[in-house]
């Protein structure tokens, strides 16, 4: 936990941003000083009682947020607003925490990178999967050598968006043409990058059968090569008919880990255990379910600002995850393997 100064926080976008607003109120060294949502008055799904009961000041315009005395602005609006709003916030002297995916294209991500450099601000991409206790435990077990050297990794993002197209149906708007493999799949894409490193090459297939009226493919699978001869697979579907899951498997030379951010435990099968027991079985390690652990995200961001360091999920990490998705989308469109190497 940070022991430095207190930070004033403003949030733009109170659907995805509500968890950030609550975290800013709850943490001992942050204060929610301003909140803004363009559709606050008409969006009945927003938790308005929270802001009213806590007497949180609501901005009447987006510009008011940039002109405020906030130290940190959280950009939690739909993806296609991230670039413009993040740049405006940094130009106003604010540090920025931006929800995932960082932007719809690598080209737009590069504009944010340029702004981080120009305005010398701290920046976090909200890749919340890295803060789920089960995934964090799995990475710790991997790094400690419990399953040996990583051989194969797979992750999936399965989430039926048919009942959650977003306010004013922005996720299914043909003018926006949001790519589901990036918009939702960025969770799984970032997770395998975090575990296995940046992919070198990807080959993907995608189809459009669950949500045929939506403007982009709804289901895809990508196979990738990673450093150290690791191979992997990412499945992402925003139309699949099943409960939400991010089931992830890590196969190593000495064992296997299975984890999911919706499960109260992770499973591990280890060579020393099954060598002694003469039985291939999984052991269970209890973990807390916190699949959108935004409180820890904001706490972490503030702690790095205190240390005068960019956080681990910085603007470059956000860009590399977008690059992974963009390469997969291009591969599916061309039928060719695509390089994922992203230079800055």
- Phi, psi angle pair for 143, to nearest 5°: -70, -25
Encoding tokens for residue 330? Answer: 């291009």
Give domain status of residue 313, yes or no. no
User: Residue 119 pLDDT more than 50?
Assistant: yes
Considering the domain architecture, whether residues 148 and 272 belong to the same structural domain is answered as: yes
Encoding tokens for residue 150? Answer: 């990583």
Q: 6-39 in b/e burial notation, b at 16+ Cβ within 10 A?
A: ebbbbbbbbbbbbbbbbbbeebeebebbbbbbee
User: Residue 106 pLDDT more than 60?
Assistant: yes
Q: Which residues pair with 262 in a beta bridge?
A: none
Q: 42-76 in b/e burial notation, b at 16+ Cβ within 10 A?
A: eeeebeeebbeeeebeebeebeebbebebbbbbbb
Considering the domain architecture, whether residues 98 and 152 belong to the same structural domain is answered as: no
Q: Are 300 and 311 in contact (CB under 8 A)?
A: yes
Give domain status of residue 1, yes or no. no
User: For the packed helices 186-196 and 133-143, what is the interaxial angle rounded to 10 degrees?
Assistant: 20
pLDDT at 2: 43
Considering the domain architecture, whether residues 152 and 233 belong to the same structural domain is answered as: yes
Considering only CA atoms, which of 23, 4, 11, 16 is closest in space to residue 89?
11
Share of the chain above pLDDT 90, in %: 93
pLDDT at 4: 65
Considering the domain architecture, whether residues 141 and 68 belong to the same structural domain is answered as: no
pLDDT at 275: 83
pLDDT at 158: 97
Q: Are 282 and 269 in contact (CB under 8 A)?
A: yes
Considering the domain architecture, whether residues 104 and 154 belong to the same structural domain is answered as: no
Considering only CA atoms, which of 205, 242, 235 is closest in space to residue 334?
205
User: Residue 1 pLDDT more than 70?
Assistant: no
DSSP string computed for 60-75: SSHHHHHTSS-SEEEE
Encoding tokens for residue 57? Answer: 């000041």
User: Residue 231 pLDDT more than 80?
Assistant: yes
DSSP annotation of 21 = H
Alpha-carbon span 236 to 328, nearest angstrom: 11
Considering the domain architecture, whether residues 287 and 148 belong to the same structural domain is answered as: yes
Considering the domain architecture, whether residues 169 and 248 belong to the same structural domain is answered as: yes
Q: Which domain holds residue 335?
A: 130-292+323-339
Confidence of residue 265 (pLDDT cuts 50, 70, 90): very high
Considering only CA atoms, which of 131, 112, 130 is closest in space to residue 122?
112
Considering the domain architecture, whether residues 275 and 301 belong to the same structural domain is answered as: no
Encoding tokens for residue 145? Answer: 């050598």
Encoding tokens for residue 263? Answer: 């499960």
State the CATH number of the domain containing residue 31. 3.40.50.720
Q: Are 248 and 138 in contact (CB under 8 A)?
A: yes
pLDDT at 184: 96
């Amino acid at each position: 936990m940070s022991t430095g100064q207190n930070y004033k926080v403003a949030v733009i976008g109170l659907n995805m941003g509500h968890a950030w607003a609550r975290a800013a109120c709850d943490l001992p060294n942050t204060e929610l000083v301003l909140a803004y949502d363009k559709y606050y008055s008409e969006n009945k799904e927003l938790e308005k009682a929270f802001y009213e009961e806590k007497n949180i000041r609501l901005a009447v315009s987006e510009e008011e947020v940039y002109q405020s005395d906030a130290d940190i602005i959280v950009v939690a609006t739909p993806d296609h607003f991230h670039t413009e709003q993040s740049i405006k916030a940094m130009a106003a002297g604010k540090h920025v925490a931006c929800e995932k995916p960082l932007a719809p294209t690598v080209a737009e991500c590069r504009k944010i990178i340029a702004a981080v450099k120009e305005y010398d601000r701290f920046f976090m991409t909200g890749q919340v999967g890295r803060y789920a206790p089960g995934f964090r435990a799995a990475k710790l077990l991997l790094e400690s050598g419990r399953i040996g050297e990583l051989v194969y990794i797979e992750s999936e993002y399965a989430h039926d968006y048919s009942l959650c197209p977003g306010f004013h149906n922005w996720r299914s708007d043909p003018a926006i043409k949001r790519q589901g493999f990036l918009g939702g799949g960025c969770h799984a894409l970032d997770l395998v990058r975090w575990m296995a490193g940046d992919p070198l090459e990807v080959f993907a297939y995608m189809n459009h059968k669950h949500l045929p009226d939506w403007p982009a493919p709804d289901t895809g699978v990508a196979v990738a090569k990673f450093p150290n001869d690791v191979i992997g697979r990412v499945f992402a579907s925003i139309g699949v008919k099943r409960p939400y899951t991010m089931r992830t498997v890590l196969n190593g030379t000495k064992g296997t880990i299975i984890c999911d951010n919706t499960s109260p435990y992770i499973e591990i099968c280890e060579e020393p255990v099954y060598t002694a027991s003469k039985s291939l079985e999984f052991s269970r390690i209890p973990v807390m379910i916190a699949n959108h652990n935004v409180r820890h995200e904001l706490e972490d961001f503030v702690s790095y600002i205190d240390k005068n360091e960019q956080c681990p999920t910085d603007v470059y990490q956000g860009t590399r995850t977008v690059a992974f998705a963009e390469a997969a989308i291009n591969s599916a469109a061309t039928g060719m393997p695509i390089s994922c190497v992203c230079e800055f």
